[in-house]
Amino acid sequence: MWPLFLFAIAILTLCITDCVYRWRNPKCNGKLPPGSMGVPLIGETLQFFSTYKSNDLSPFIKQRMKRYGPLFRTSLVGRPVVISIDQEFNNFIFQQEGKLFQLWYMDSFMKIFGNQSLLALQGYIHKYLRSLVFNLLGPQTLKEKLLSEMELATMKHLQLWSNQDSVELKEAAATMVFNLAAKKLISYDEEKCSQKLRENFADFRQGLISFPLNIPGTPFYKCLQGKKKAITLIKNTLDERRTSPNKHHGDFMDLVLDELNKTNSILTEDMVLHLIFVLIFATYESTSTSMALIVKFVTDHPPVLEELTKEHETILQKRENVDSRITWEEFKSMTFTSMVINESLRLGNPAPLILRKTMADIHIKGYTIPAGWAVMLCPPAVHLDPTKFADPLTFNPWRWKGIESNPGKNFMGFGGGARSCVGSDFAKVQITFFLHHLVTKYRWKIIQGGDILRDPGVKFPNGLHFQILEKHK
């Protein structure tokens, strides 16, 4: 009996040893970049997602850069990944979008967003959907149709906040941008609708980065339920629109319905539903995070606030009517504001990861990245590189003087390549209008929170609570 038992133990040990060896030494038609694959299945996921407080690079990235150089391998959530800190290679990846590289997200993300979302679609379908979105959020539409509406919404919310003892800025800004985005996309009005779409998206956001355990009570389950309810509301709106005698609401759903009804349209209803869902989420979540970061940075740096206030008050002084709305020309003239936005995105890095997947073996600098591997670009590593940005941990908007509208390849605040953020102009306008009215009409102070945690995304664990008062009071 004992010999048989010992034989079984020996076989099991050999199998485990072989599995560990294969995990740590993946097959490759060449030389893999240096690095460690961590433990089987888990890899180095726990180390990668561990929280830290500094504005500096994550300890995970810094330690491996020092040990392995600007290109190294690891394993995250069960997938082999090469992390690139090499800007030359990063630019090559952007240039080869759709040829040697394609978009990739972690499997849990794709399960959440779905295979029909803008995040998942590739090639000409993705380009087609981007063109539709650009019709809504691009500079021409902003200039001709959205400026006044965006400004009035901003003024309304700032006035509302000034009547409260304390406002949690990230959440309040999210509500403001959400209301505007949902209105322009599907003519949604929170006050008139019995179903609270904002609550569904809040559930979705809270479980977005969580262990993918889909059972009742878990954050992941709540995330999927939030998405399901939001999609159902959007579908009900789409169905009502199809049967409504009023065919023109002037929103994005009008546009996609026209496209959907065309003969031989490549759009499907599922694509439309997921497109609108992703647009609402991406628009309000990323913009509100950026707004909170900017207020935090500007508040902590009085000379920046002084220069920012001076720029916006000068614009008021030049107007014939001080209460008139911001024009496109005025927006384009706010160069220091643009510098503040660039610097906040550089140092804040609200989107710290850009993910792609290799479509063929990639040979780079003596190494081979096998086909099917994920490649992670790390914008903070470029944004905080002292060879590209002097004194990189210092908040210094003046570093962008003269290049504020064209910051170059070393700036990835809105992504890069064919997948760069299609809503970047919308976000810049929204943030600029917010800052204009904040610094010219109000004074404020942070009364609670303001600490920033990263994992590697940006979080305000204790919120960013500030009190805002009209200047003349």
Mark the binding-site residues, compressed into ranges: 421
Radius of gyration for the chain, computed over Cα atoms and rounded to the nearest angstrom: 24
Angle at 297 between CA 293 and CA 300, to 5 degrees: 140
Measured distance CA(82)–CA(200) in Å, rounded = 35
Residue 192 buriedness (CB in 10 A; 0-12 / 13-18 / 19+): exposed
Write the CB contacts of 366 (distance below 8 Å, at least 6 apart in sequence): 31
What token pair was written down for 349?
A: 């890095």
Q: Which residues of 422-443 are buried (b: 16+ CB within 10 A; e: fewer)?
A: bbbbbbbbbbbbbbbbbbbbbe
Which residue positions form the known binding site for heme? Answer: 421
Strand order in the sheet with 442-449: 167-168, 464-470, 442-449
Measured distance CA(255)–CA(269) in Å, rounded = 13
Phi, psi of 381 (to 5 degrees): -65, -30
- Residue 39 is classified by DSSP as B
CA 352 → CA 185, 194, 212, 270, 376, distances in Å?
27, 37, 21, 29, 10
Hey, how many other C-beta atoms are within 10 angstroms of the C-beta on 174?
Answer: 22
Is residue 436 within 8 Å of residue 460, measured between CB atoms? no
Helix (H/G/I), strand (E/B), else coil: 254? helix
Query: Sign of the C-alpha dihedral, residues 206, 211, 215, 216?
Result: negative
The string of DSSP codes covering 184-246 is HHH---TTT-SS-HHHHHHHHHHTSSS----STTSHHHHHHHHHHHHHHHHHHHHHHHHH-S-
Phi, psi of 40 (to 5 degrees): -55, 140
Measured distance CA(43)–CA(77) in Å, rounded = 7
Of 314, 343, 402, 388, the C-alpha closest to 85 is 388
Q: Which residues of 92-102 are buried (b: 16+ CB within 10 A; e: fewer)?
A: ebbebbbebbb
Q: Which helix (H) or strand (E) holds 342?
A: helix 335-348
Measured distance CA(218)–CA(206) in Å, rounded = 11
